[in-house]
Amino acid sequence: MSERNEGKKPLAIVQVIKVAGKAGESGKTPLPKRQSRIKLLFSVVSPADGRKLKEILEDTSAALSFTFAGTGTARSQLLDYLGIGESEKSVIVSLIPESDEDAILRVLRAKMSLYLVGKGISFTVPLTGISELTANGLWKAAGNKTAEVKRMTDGERKYDLIVAAVEAGRVDEAMEAARSAGAAGGTILRARALENDKAEQFIGITLAREQEILLVLAKRESKLAIMNALSEKVGLKTQAGGVIFSLPVDKTAGISAADEAEMREEEQHG
């Protein structure tokens, strides 16, 4: 431990707490107002657009961002999901205040031209906890906004993010399996597994140190089929030794022409 951290107490964690509203005269439950939570924004764009995206985030709200180099795998004739063709991508992961979520996605659609499918995508993932210092800083920068809380339910979500971590050199097999089950494409990240001796002992599998991570944004109705195909082709019991899991996705931008048209209609009548 470094000297500057000695004697300091660990940072507190802010947990998402459900807030119940009281029914009004109309019989409907009003949406409670509370300080917004922090959400995770994933963006997949060209490297040239990465800096522009960060500038937009800073102008629109407050964001704490991290960037990763990736490769897009979507076929050129399929104009949805994570980009067009095999090309270099920047995967930018940002912590943003929920109160600015809609505004951020709206501005990204306009200024990044995400309404042009294949230009890039952004989507948000809910969090269940975050360090208090980080949350307070982002809330303060965003003006400590409170907003009507309408959290997406599992039944309202249209997409899931499927993550498959496989042995380096076998990610093409993973993408082939995902496509066979309906996926249009994905994004590949290079990674290195840490020392996972304890987990490996209980799982009964030794994981490859050099790995590639495949990210596939899938429609909810296709998720299980894609995950089953990945498990069969590159799962833990195969030579690829893949670890496969999924995350819920809330709101999206740039995924498909139909979704973008629906979103614009909702904004016009919202």
User: How far is it, in rounded angstroms, from Cα 199 to Cα 99?
Assistant: 38
Backbone angles phi, psi at 81, to 5 degrees: 70, -130
- The residues facing 67 across adjacent strands are 92
- Of the pLDDT bands very low, low, confident and very high (cuts 50, 70, 90), residue 193 is low
**pLDDT tens digits for range 63-81:** 889 988 888 775 443 334 4
Q: What is the CATH number of domain 156-249?
A: 3.30.70.120
pLDDT at 163: 94
pLDDT at 217: 92
Rounded percentage of the chain residues whose pLDDT exceeds 90: 27
Q: Do the beta carbons of residue 161 and residue 42 sit within 8 Å?
A: yes
**pLDDT tens digits for range 114-126:** 767 667 889 999 9
- Of the pLDDT bands very low, low, confident and very high (cuts 50, 70, 90), residue 154 is confident
Write out the CATH class of domain 33-152: alpha beta
Q: Is pLDDT of 27 > 90?
A: no
User: How far is it, in rounded angstroms, from Cα 138 to Cα 58?
Assistant: 11
- Of the pLDDT bands very low, low, confident and very high (cuts 50, 70, 90), residue 16 is very low
Q: Is pLDDT of 56 > 60?
A: yes
The least confident of 150-164, 206-220, 238-252 is 206-220
pLDDT at 11: 53
Q: Is pLDDT of 152 > 90?
A: no
221, 218, 211: which is closest to 245 by C-alpha? Answer: 218
Q: Where are the domains of the chain?
A: 33-152, 156-249
pLDDT at 184: 82
Same fold, 33-152 and 156-249: yes
Rounded percentage of the chain residues whose pLDDT exceeds 70: 66
pLDDT at 22: 41
pTM: predicted TM-score of the whole model, two decimal places: 0.74
Residue type, 115: Y
**pLDDT tens digits for range 167-189:** 888 999 999 999 999 998 888 88
Mean pLDDT of the chain: 76
Q: Is pLDDT of 5 > 80?
A: no
